[in-house]
Amino acid sequence: MPTPSAGQQRSARPAGDYVFLNLPYDAQFEPLFLAYIAGVSAFGLLPRTPLEIPGGGRRLDNIFDQLRSCRYSIHDLSRVQVSRTAPRTPRFNMPFELGLAVAHQKAGGTHTWFVFEQVAHRLSKSLSDLDGSEVYLHHGKPNGVLAELGNAFIRSGRQPTLDQMRAIYRGLRRAKPTILHESGAKTLFAARPFKDLSTLASALADEVILGSHR
Amino acid sequence: MPRQVKLAGKFATADDTARALGVPASRRDKLKELALTVLPRRAPKSAPNGVKPAASAPGAQVAVKSRTKKSSRNAHTKRRATKKR
């Protein structure tokens, strides 16, 4: 169980809790990226990613500040293999940011972290320090992400069903060309498309979960 | 870590999300409109007892039997022609 915060208080609490999304940003991961945004919004939570952080300043400090402002964090460790292009390297950003979240929570921060993976039992090989921690397996599928988010979070009264989360996800997929066109971006992994997607997902959740679309 | 975390905070609406992420009000309103256009159409509702509405009921969606692919039909015709010979 995460320990409750001893001293960390935010002066102005946001409406809803922030969720720090620590995800790989590659084209193959795009459907899961949309699923995370859809699922998190379906629970009435606010997604945040380092994509929002502008250049300049020390990136690590900005990432840690953003992480500390979030009540929850989700760390997807699906990309632990080495890259195909030279120089062939694994990607350390995700495990590193997970380490920051664990350290923040251990230091008394009000924070709960979740680890998501694609392959069963791989984490015990790639990051055995987390043995005994709960791992949420999505099997590389958007439906898997949505189902596991339903296992990670529970909201009394307004618990979204898997079908409702799927409806939000499908809405985001349909809106992708419009979002890219209007933001002038080539990829969804940029600040403006992410903000648009998050706001859109929230608007879809208003319709689907809070009830005007029934 | 716990298997399930109970959320107690307020449900963040689109207005809350836009405010938190610094999305301007005009853009937020545009995205709200977009949300209405991309929402999947709802399937006909089942009755409370789980019985699906009759196909003849007004507004019900009637399933259209899918046609066999043309290539498959052509192959079938070809086989028949070969047999006759």
Q: Please report the domains of chain A, with CATH numbers, ordered by start residue.
A: 18-208 (3.40.50)
Picking from A149, A178, A187, A137, the residue whose alpha carbon sits closest to that of residue A41 is A149
Name the more confident of B54 and A66.
Answer: A66
CA distances from A164 to A24, A106, A136, A167, A207 (A): 25, 35, 20, 5, 10
A145/chain B closest Cα distance in angstroms: 15
* Per-residue pLDDT at A1: 38
* Per-residue pLDDT at B35: 95
Mean pLDDT along residues B37-42: 78
Residue B77, pLDDT above cutoff 80: no
Give the separation between CA A150 and CA A39, rounded to whole angstroms.
Answer: 8
Which long-range contacts does A205-208 make (Cβ < 8 Å, 24+ apart)?
A: A205/A41, A205/A42, A205/A44, A205/A160, A205/A168, A205/B14, A206/B13, A206/B14, A206/B35, A207/B35, A207/B36, A207/B39, A208/A42, A208/A160, A208/A164, A208/A167, A208/A168, A208/B39
Reported as a pLDDT band with limits 50, 70 and 90, residue B40 is low
Reported as a pLDDT band with limits 50, 70 and 90, residue B78 is confident
Give the separation between CA A194 and CA A179, rounded to whole angstroms.
Answer: 9
Which of A154, A163, A199 to probe by mutation at the B interface, max B CB count within 10 Å? A199
Give the separation between CA A38 and CA A169, rounded to whole angstroms.
Answer: 5
Which residue in the set B9, B18, B34 is minimally distant from A175, CB to CB? Answer: B34
Give the separation between CA B13 and CA A12, rounded to whole angstroms.
Answer: 17
The SS3 of residue B32 is helix
SS3 content of chain B, % helix, strand, coil (to 5): 45, 0, 55
Mean pLDDT along residues B23-48: 82
Which has the minimum average pLDDT: A36-40, B11-15, B76-80? B76-80
Which of A148, A149, A202 to probe by mutation at the B interface, max B CB count within 10 Å? A202
- Among all chains, which residue has been given the structure tokens 């953003």? A66
Contact B29, B36 (CB under 8 A): no
Give the separation between CA A56 and CA B44, rounded to whole angstroms.
Answer: 53
Which chain A positions have a beta carbon within 8 Å of B2's beta carbon?
1-2, 112, 134
**Model ipTM value:** 0.85
* Per-residue pLDDT at A8: 36
* Per-residue pLDDT at A102: 96
* Per-residue pLDDT at A84: 82
Torsion over CA of A125, A131, A135 and A141, rounded to 10 degrees?
0
Kindly give the parts of chain A with pLDDT less than 70: 1-16, 212-214
pTM value > 0.90: no
Domain spans, chain B: 11-40
* Per-residue pLDDT at A11: 40
